[in-house]
Structure 1
Amino acid sequence: MPFQKFIDYLQLEKNYSKHTILAYQKDLESFLEFNQTHFEENSIQQVNYSQIRSWIVSLVEEGLSNRSVNRKVASLKAYYKFLLKTKQIEINPLAKHKALKTEKKLEVPFSPKEMKEVLNDMQFEDTFEGCRDKLLIELFYATGIRRAELINLSVSDVDLGGQTIKVLGKRNKERFVPIPSLCSTLLKEYLAKREEVVNEASADCLFLLKNGHKIYESFVYRTINKYLSKVSTKLKKSPHILRHTYATHLLNNGADLNSVKELLGHSSLASTQVYTHNSMAELKKQYGNAYPRNSKK
């Protein structure tokens, strides 16, 4: 593979998930194939910006959204940054490229009522699988961790006495996230039922399938979608929306933005600020209900 060293770099140094690395690989292969077809160019390192621009135009003409095109170009840009870093090229042909304009994507969090209906009112089976599924939802909502972070949790990462979990985030950055009493109680129950299925291969993996194997990304997504679909008509029902819900509900209830940043494992405050949109909407609603001059009486 012409970019194997870059793939190794993403995996070993950047600690990206398999899903993300595969996306990068496909984007680079797509660009290489385009250049081989249209410019008889077999090396991504040798292309210029006009060739890249032709690729971008072709993607748009194929009907890809600006957001999808930007994601593909971002893969290419990351590769050129790697080549610069390893001194394989002297100039980044994408250094002055400006991303295509996109509409701001607003992700709608679940309401407190919807979360209550899932976690308080819904009946989960009194089995290993029922307990695990409820804990998946509870832990996402109680901690705001990412899907990959949850999948890679170990039993040793759980501190029931201190009511915290140790999370290994992006770029191998560790953080400790508090868990509420209800979540801690459910964790104890799950750990007891987990003994029914655990085996040597998955001895320290926290979340398991009923056959004792470690859970995986699509399984987590299907589980979240399955249960949230019973209480919500929102189009998007995913682990990320639960993370979004966690942050929004914290901010709505007065949590400090910097504290939420640390809990989410964000490296910059700008990443956390995207969650303030819904909090501002809630604040305006409360203002409208409470401010005397808004009264129609």
Structure 2
Amino acid sequence: MKQATLLNFVEKELAFKYTAETVISYMYTIRRFLSQFPKAERLKLTDIEGYFADLKIQGKSSEYRKAILAGIKAFYDCYLELGMVKEHPCRTYRISEKKPKGKDFSAFLNLEEMETLFNLKEERYRYVGNRNKAMIGLLIYQGMTSKELINLSVNNIDLDAGIVNIKGQGKNTDRTLELKPSQITVLMRYIEDDRKHLLKNSTTNKLFLGMRGTPMTVNALHEFISRLGGTFGNKEVSPKNIRRSVISNWLNVRNISLEHVQIMAGHRYPSTTEQYINPNTQEQREAVSKLHKSIFG
């Protein structure tokens, strides 16, 4: 059968099943496909997979490739009806664009960079310098989320024991973490002096307050942290990225066990924590371990 006759048949068959606009789109796809594969009846699934692999290499989006695949599938449906092929070569073929698993470790801040935030210069507004350092400290040392931070009450801080009791927000679990000595000093100054001035006539028990004596909000926290950005190139300075950086540091630099980090981060499931294990760091550890064993037995 000549190709022109074949295309006329295909177009008529498609017209019974699809709208006029879809038929036009499919026929455009089919003509281009046949120009590249005149003997389309001989193609196998591997050939079609290769065709779509080439489209991907050319930078064609997944949506574009899905549209092309729909036209080719409709074409082979017609081929089956004509008896040109005995089976549909790509009926079960799917284009799926899975997001890569794991984290972009190059985007994380290292501990030195995070501590630069903690040692920022004094605020020009009175009574907020210690507050800001206290908030940054809880982000970079305890890896708290924004909601966990702004929902802290004064009672959640035990300066004598040197701990913070974190009420898990969302999917996170409750946990108790140690405070560093530098944090205890800053928190003591804030709670015993600065916070009392910020409190004014308010009776709230929330730990962190704004200039008007009202509790800090997530938006206010994010705005404050965002102003600290621009120091570390393309690395994002935000509570979310700081938390991710902290968890990565616990696992990959400090070598804290997965089980312990899961508790420290407030993750309900170990699979969530596992995402922060840097495979390159893990491979380096295993290589060093093997070398050590080969030398020292």
- The answer on 1:231 being equivalent to 2:228 is no
- The answer on 1:162 being equivalent to 2:161 is yes
Mapping of 1:128-207 within 5 angstroms?
128-169=127-168, 170=170, 173-191=173-191, 192-199=193-200, 201-207=202-208
Distance 2:288 2:254 in 1: 16
In structure 2, relative to structure 1, the CA distance for the partners of 1:173 and 1:276 (3 Å cut) is closer
Q: TM-score, normalised by structure 2?
A: 0.57
In structure 2, relative to structure 1, the CA distance for the partners of 1:200 and 1:100 (3 Å cut) is farther
**1:125 match:** 123
Supply the AA of the counterpart residue of 2:150. I
CA-to-aligned-CA distance 1:82-127 (integer Å, 9 cap, x gap): xxxxxxxxxxxxxxxxx9732446342112231232223x312273
Identity of aligned residues (%): 23
Give, in angstroms, the shift of residue 202 of structure 1.
4.8
Distance 2:111 2:172 in 1: 32
Corresponding pairs, count: 192
Give, in angstroms, the shift of residue 206 of structure 1.
0.3
Aligned to 2:205, the other structure's residue is in SS state coil
Unaligned runs of 5+ in 2: 1-61, 64-95, 293-297
Give, in angstroms, the shift of residue 258 of structure 1.
0.7
Q: Is the 8 A contact 1:202 1:214 kept in 2?
A: no
Q: Is the 8 A contact 1:144 1:243 kept in 2?
A: yes
Q: Is the 8 A contact 2:172 2:266 kept in 1?
A: no
Distance 1:281 1:184 in 2: 35
**2:67 match:** none
**2:259 match:** 258
Distance 2:225 2:284 in 1: 29
**1:101 match:** 98
- The answer on 1:213 being equivalent to 2:214 is yes
**CA RMSD, Structure 1 to Structure 2 (Å):** 2.8
In structure 2, relative to structure 1, the CA distance for the partners of 1:268 and 1:171 (3 Å cut) is closer
Distance 2:214 2:274 in 1: 37
CA-to-aligned-CA distance 1:193-249 (integer Å, 9 cap, x gap): 11111145452110110111111111111111211x142113422101111121112
**1:75 match:** none
Supply the AA of the counterpart residue of 2:135. L
Q: Is the 8 A contact 2:159 2:184 kept in 1?
A: yes
CA-to-aligned-CA distance 1:33-76 (integer Å, 9 cap, x gap): xxxxxxxxxxxxxxxxxxxxxxxxxxx98xxxxxxxxxxxxxxx
**2:115 match:** 116
Q: TM-score, normalised by structure 1?
A: 0.57
Mapping of 1:258-297 within 5 angstroms?
258-277=259-278, 280-282=279-281
Q: Is the 8 A contact 1:124 1:134 kept in 2?
A: no
Post-superposition, which runs of at least 4 consecutive aligned residues in structure 1 deviate over 6 A? 285-292
Q: Is the 8 A contact 1:224 1:238 kept in 2?
A: yes
Distance 1:239 1:194 in 2: 22
In structure 2, relative to structure 1, the CA distance for the partners of 1:240 and 1:287 (3 Å cut) is same
Q: Is the 8 A contact 1:202 1:212 kept in 2?
A: no
Give, in angstroms, the shift of residue 145 of structure 1.
1.2
Distance 2:172 2:100 in 1: 32
In structure 2, relative to structure 1, the CA distance for the partners of 1:235 and 1:213 (3 Å cut) is same
In structure 2, relative to structure 1, the CA distance for the partners of 1:111 and 1:166 (3 Å cut) is same
CA-to-aligned-CA distance 1:235-283 (integer Å, 9 cap, x gap): 4221011111211122211211111100111111001111112xx4345
Supply the AA of the counterpart residue of 2:110. S
Supply the AA of the counterpart residue of 1:131. N
In structure 2, relative to structure 1, the CA distance for the partners of 1:235 and 1:187 (3 Å cut) is same
Q: Which one has a bigger Cα radius of gyration?
A: 2
